[in-house]
Amino acid sequence: MIVMKFGGTSVANFEAITRAIFIVGGRLDKKPVVVVSALSKVTDLLYRISDAAASGNVGEVKTLMGELRSRHVNLASDLLEQSPALKENAVARVNSICDSLEELVNAVCAVGELSDRNKAIIISNGELLSSTIICFVMNAKGIRTNFIDARKMMITSNEYLKGEPVVDEIVKRVPEVVAEAYKGMDAVITQGFIGSNAAGEQTVLGRGGSDYSASLIGMAIDAERIEIWTDVDGVRSADPRAVENTKYLEKISFEEAAEMAHFGAKVLHPLTIEPAVKKNIPIYVLNSMNPSGKGTAILRNELIEDGVKSVSFKENIRVINIFSMKMINTSGFLRRVFEIFSESRVSVDLISTSEANISVTVDASEKIDKVVEQLSEFADVIVDDDKSQVSVIGKNIVRLNGMLKKTFAPLKRTNVYMISQGASFVNISFVVDREELKEVVRDLHYHLFEVEEELEQF
Ligand code: ADP
Ligand code: ASP
Ligand code: MG
């Protein structure tokens, strides 16, 4: 069996869905479990609907709900034009999902208050709608496809908006649910991103979580491979939206991919790699607009060569500087500091320490008020906003001769605030002012990936 996950742009519209189904059709001998995201931009739309409802904005809710409904109804009608009976069923199903959502959203709007529990229900509808439509269209095209509600098998913790997968439960349920659904079928389809807690309440895995769903499902069914179909020709040496001449990477290691994703490369959800590594399942990142391309293979460490693979970045981070004379010669100080971060579930990226100071970086989206308040009880705390974090990633780069010089030489005129060499030998990271980020990333990429190629051409 294989898992085939299609991201938002790969199922964005008529053409994209037609292409995605054609790709699945070519892999039926591998018994695919198809995992889909919401149509491109639909999850954003659902967030806007949640915000409008939470602030009691009836007019806005109505407009946005209309947009959501018409996009899906029109798409279902267009895709199923040739199969009137299926079209009627699909449109009725889409309308019924939208009706339930509208009922909830109107109730939220009336009280002007939105719980995380209801927010999870609202934003899960993107995946429910896309998978419903695509399932109908696959059947219309002659691929007998069964619909799996991911909430029956993707069990998470109680955090409605960022549920942590309960792996034991997922590993138990997924093979059973998939095997049952596969009976007499050519394929099955389910939703990425969404799940439920043990009590059966709606949860989601956090933004971009469909990749993570695919990988968890792949692990649970011992998939031969996990395919992540997206809108780029595989993983590249940097985000092609930020750097012009990025290089295609034919293969990278699990560890390199995990570091890239964790340190900002949005091509994969940061936790995607972990389940695949457990069972040593290769992940392929492929372009649904260029299905014959080779994509990038993400494989075990031993199969990958040493060397720089990527420049990744997180654009909006904060540096929290913690100063205390008590730190000197006090063994429990660091423990206390990190307990505070852990209790508030604020995740720390980079850490550097000196005699009486610890600096850490956190994503700007993390809520740090409570952390700062608690740290301030025994230390002086200064928070620097508007910083960015840049990471050079590649197998064993920390051990490569001259790598630090190569990394920092292009940055002569840049203020560098923190430097951290990953304990794993794969990562050199540092912090710069946000306004300098774009130039730093371009310069660095040029020196690490483009200069030598230019010289070779002479
Ligand atoms: P999907 O909707 O398929 O999940 P995403 O937008 O989440 O797609 O991820 C694909 C995008 O990731 C690409 O369009 C690209 O701009 C971005 N990206 C960031 N870093 C990289 C990288 N190193 N290699 C390739 N793509 C990257
Ligand atoms: N639809 C969700 C999001 O936009 C999940 C995903 O696309 O991976 O965040
Ligand atoms: Mg994504």
Q: Does the residue 93 lie in any domain?
A: yes
Same domain for 116 and 211?
A: yes
Atom from ligand 1 closest to the CA of residue 40: 2
> What is the pTM (predicted TM-score) of this model?
0.94
Rounded to the nearest angstrom, the distance between the alpha carbon of 229 and the centre of ligand 3 is: 10
Nearest residue (CA) to ligand 1, atom 1: 7
Q: Are residues 213 and 321 in the same domain?
A: no
Q: How far is the CA of 324 from the centre of ligand 2 (A)?
A: 42
Flag whether 332 is in a domain. yes
In a domain, 202, yes or no: no
Distance 266 CA to ligand 1 centre (A): 5
The predicted-structure confidence for 165-186, as pLDDT tens digits, reads as follows 999 999 999 999 999 999 999 9
* 200, part of any domain: no
Tell me which of 231, 247, 282 is where a domain ends. Answer: 231
Starting from the CA of residue 295, give the closest ligand: 1
On whether residue 53 sits in a domain, the answer given is: yes
CATH value at residue 97: 3.40.1160.10
User: Containing domain of residue 72, as a range?
Assistant: 2-147+207-231
For 391-434, the pLDDT digits (tens) are 999 999 988 878 888 888 888 888 999 998 866 789 999 999 99
User: 235 CB under 6 A from ligand 1?
Assistant: yes
**One domain, residues 331 and 441:** yes
- Tally of structural domains, the chain: 2
Model confidence at 14, pLDDT cuts 50, 70, 90, reads: very high
Same domain, 119 and 32: yes
pLDDT category at 458 given cuts 50, 70, 90 is: low
- Could you tell me the CATH number of the domain that includes residue 378? 3.30.2130.10
Residue 374 in any domain: the answer is yes
Tell how far the Cα of 311 is from the centroid of ligand 1, in angstroms.
14
**Cβ of 165 below 6 Å from ligand 1:** no
From the CB of 210, is ligand 2 less than 6 Å away? yes
From the CB of 275, is ligand 1 less than 6 Å away?
A: no
Last residue of a domain, one of 186, 215, 231: 231
- Could you tell me if the CB of 12 is within 6 A of ligand 1? no
**Ligand 2 contact via 270 beta carbon (within 6 Å):** no
Residues 84 and 225 in one domain: yes
Looking at the fold, whether 215 and 363 belong to one and the same domain comes out as no
**226 and 327 inside one domain:** no
411 part of a folded domain? yes
The three-state (H, E, C) secondary structure of the chain, written as one string = CEEEEECHHHHCCHHHHHHHHHHHHCCHHHCEEEEECCCCCHHHHHHHHHHHHHCCCHHHHHHHHHHHHHHHHHHHHHHCCCCHHHHHHHHHHHHHHHHHHHHHHHHHHHHCCCCHHHHHHHHCHHHHHHHHHHHHHHHHCCCCEEECCHHHCCEECCCCCCCCECHHHHHHHHHHHHHHHHCCCCEEEEECCEEEECCCCEEECCCCCHHHHHHHHHHHCCCCEEEEEECCCCCECCCCCCCCCCCECCEEEHHHHHHHHHCCCCCCCCCCHHHHHHHCCCEEEEECCCCCCCCEEEECHHHCCCEEEEEEEEEEEEEEEEECHHHCCCCCHHHHHHHHHHHCCCCEEEEEEECCEEEEEEECCCCCHHHHHHHCCCCEEEEEEEEEEEEEEEECHHHCCCHHHHHHHHHCCCCCCCEEECCCCCEEEEEEEHHHHHHHHHHHHHHHHHHHHHHHHC
Q: Ligand 2 within 6 A of 43 CB?
A: yes
pLDDT digits (tens, 9 = 90+) for 28-87: 999 999 999 999 999 999 999 999 999 999 999 999 999 999 999 999 999 999 999 999
Is residue 112 domain-shared with residue 211, that is, in the same domain? yes
Classify residue 406: in a domain, yes or no.
Answer: yes
> 231 CA distance to ligand 1 centroid (A)?
7
